[in-house]
A and B are shown apart, each in its own frame.
Chain A
Amino acid sequence: MVNIEQAGYSEGSEVLKDIHFSINPGELVGLIGPNGAGKSTTVKSILGILTNFTGTVDVSDYSYVPERPIFYDRATLWEHIDFLQTILEADEEEFRERAGELLEIFQLTEVIHHYPDSFSKGMQQKVMLILAFLRKPDLYIIDEPFMGLDPKATRILLNLLEEEKKKGAGILMSTHVLDTAEKRCDRFVLISEGRLVIQGSLSDIQDKAGLLDGSLFDCFDKLTEHES
């Protein structure tokens, strides 16, 4: 459950107002909106790292994949995995086995002793995803996951998310890739100018936009057109 009454980066600056939505177990929710609509701010509100925030956010155990990958300067890929295992106090053998599988799937086995800082954006994104999946959380919060990923990696990611959904995890995915979102998301949260425009399924959005057979892209255009 996410109830944001108002939120912003400093006292008196209000970026978001009255945004309420929920992510149910086993559900993939797409967080969509134009640039500067407040998607990232919404994500940060959920993470609890905004100084100016009123409202309630009820999430317990989550993985966060940031838009911009961040790594420790002097640690190799394997050291990152090792560090995560230590702080999560997870079972070592099981954790390493899972890590090995994920590295294999994303084809990073060859570079486990290299520094992620030297990787390409796509590879760094893959590492962030692996680290997120290793946490096995109840909720995934993913910010623009497709940026930099090649088509094959995108497919792998979508399949893994599908698997996690089946296991009962909720997923909140912020994205601009509307055609993929249309195919994969169960529900959408559309934000514009810091306000919630609509939340619901594709048909709810088509209703609201008055485009019965319109694609998500067309509806998005229609519902946010007053901005441009």
Chain B
Amino acid sequence: MTGFQLFKRRLVQDVQEQMKPVRAILDWSVLLYIVVPFMIVFPFFYIDAWENVHLYWGREVPFIFLAGLLLLVAGRGNIRTYVWEADLIYLLQKKRLLWELKQYGFLFSLLSAVLRNLIIFLLPYPF
């Protein structure tokens, strides 16, 4: 098994685990009555917000406030290694595999942070 294969396995398991509480909240009724309508309405609000900026953003609110908000959101994030406690026993002699796993974990964390920040910065960008 290569480090990449192990990383893929861990990632899939991790996503499945994280989806559990999400699925517990988003049953079909919540999806139908809240999520779907929100997704339909959101683009209209988004366009409207740019066409009538004064309705959504007061002139007296300083720009630094917005910048600070963005910084707060962009600054969060963490680097995950995808190493589990039991690896201490099972992968003890597979130093290379562990190292590769951590490497992919680091790259993935970095990439997802870049993507997330890109979205956050593009959203308030006037097209």
Residues of A bordering B, CB below 8 Å: 47, 49, 61-62, 64, 66, 70-74, 80, 83-84, 86-87, 89, 128, 131
Check if B88 sits within 8 Å of A87, measured CB to CB. Answer: no
Give how many B residues have a beta carbon under 8 Å from the other chain's beta carbons.
15
Contact indicator A64/B94 (Cβ below 8 Å) = no
| A74-B13, A86-B1, A87-B1 as given contacts; A64 in contact with B92, CB under 8 Å | yes
Contacts of A71 in B (CB 8 A): 86
Q: State in angstroms the CA–CA spacing of A161 and B36 once bound together.
A: 63
- Least Cβ–Cβ distance between A69 and chain B, in angstroms: 9
**Shortest CB–CB separation between residue B119 and chain A, in angstroms?**
31
Closest residue of chain B to A80, judged by CB? B90
**Complex Cα–Cα for A80 and B89 (A):** 12
**Please, which residues of chain A bring their CB within 8 A of the CB of B92?**
47, 49, 64
Instruction: Decide if B125 is an interface residue (CB 8 Å cutoff).
Output: no
One of A61, A70, A74, A86 near B89 (C-beta < 8 A)? A70
Candidates A61, A73, A89, A131; contact of B1 at CB < 8 Å: A89
Would A84 and B90 be within 8 Å (CB), given that A72-B84, A89-B1 are in contact? yes
As a 0/1 sequence over residues 83 to 115 of chain B, the CB contacts with chain A under 8 angstroms (1 = contact) are 011101111111001000000000000000000
- On chain B, the residues within 8 Å of A47 by CB distance are 92
Counting from the closest, the 5 A-B pairs by CB-CB distance are A72-B86, A70-B86, A86-B1, A70-B89, A87-B1
Bound Cα distance A49, B95 (Å): 11
Q: Across the interface, do A70 and B85 meet the contact criterion of CB distance under 8 Å?
A: yes
| B97, A87: Cβ atoms closer than 8 Å | yes
16 A-B residue pairings within 8 Å (CB atoms): A49-B92, A61-B93, A62-B93, A66-B89, A70-B86, A70-B88, A70-B89, A71-B86, A72-B84, A73-B84, A74-B13, A87-B1, A87-B90, A89-B1, A128-B89, A131-B90
- In the bound complex, residues from chain B placing their C-beta under 8 Å from that of A84 are 90
Q: What residues of chain A lie closer than 8 Å to B91, measured between beta carbons?
A: 87
Residues from chain A with a CB closer than 8 A to the CB of B13 are: 74
Residue ID in chain A nearest B1 by CB atoms: A86
Give every chain B residue within 8 A of A74 (Cβ-Cβ). 13, 17
Alpha-carbon gap, A87 to B91, bound state (A): 8
B2 to chain A, nearest CB (A): 10
Query: Which residue on chain A has the smallest CB distance to residue B88?
Result: A70
Residues of chain A lying within 8 A (CB to CB) of residue B88: 49, 70
Kindly state the separation between the CA atoms of A128 and B90 in the bound complex, as whole angstroms.
10
Q: How far is the CA of A30 from the CA of B53 in the complex (A)?
A: 78
